Structures are given as C-alpha cells and as structure tokens.
Amino acid sequence: MPDKNEAEIIRLQKDVETIRDNHIVHIHDCIHRVEDVMKENKAFFIERMDKLDSKIFWIMGFSVTTMLSVIVALFGIS
C-alpha cells in the first residue's frame, strides 16, 4: 500500500509542478496583456469623451445664442 500512495504523491507533485510552471505563467502573461489593452482602450475613450464634450458645449452655446436672438427679435429689446 505505501508504494501505491507514494507513487500517487509523486505523480501529484509532478502535476502541481507542471501547473505551476506552465499554466500559471501563461495565465499571468494573459492578464498582463489584458491590462495593457484595457489601458489603451481607456486612453482612447477618454480622448473620445473629451471631443464629445467639446462638441456638446459648442451645440449648447449655439442653441443659447439662437434662443437669445429669437427672444430679442420677438420682444424688440435693444
């Protein structure tokens, strides 16, 4: 019986080493690649949001100016 258990323990130790050496390193590399992609996407979306904010402010400014022009034209405020 002890020989069978020892053989099983040795096999399990080799499996653990294989997992540690191959799979965990691979997972670690994948996580770093995903982090890099997420940083690139974050920068891209921040840039896009800044452009969108700028466009929204221009549209709002144009709308307010137009509204004030209409009010002045309707009521003849000089």
For residue 2, what pLDDT band results from cuts at 50, 70 and 90?
A: low
Three-class DSSP category at 55: helix
pLDDT in tens, 52-67: 999 999 999 999 999 9
- HEC assignment per residue over 3-38: HHHHHHHHHHHHHHHHHHHHHHHHHHHHHHHHHHHH
The Cα angle at residue 46 between residues 41 and 49, in degrees rounded to 5 = 125
Q: Which two tokens stand for residue 67?
A: 């509204």
The reported pTM is 0.47
Which amino acid would we find at residue 13? Q
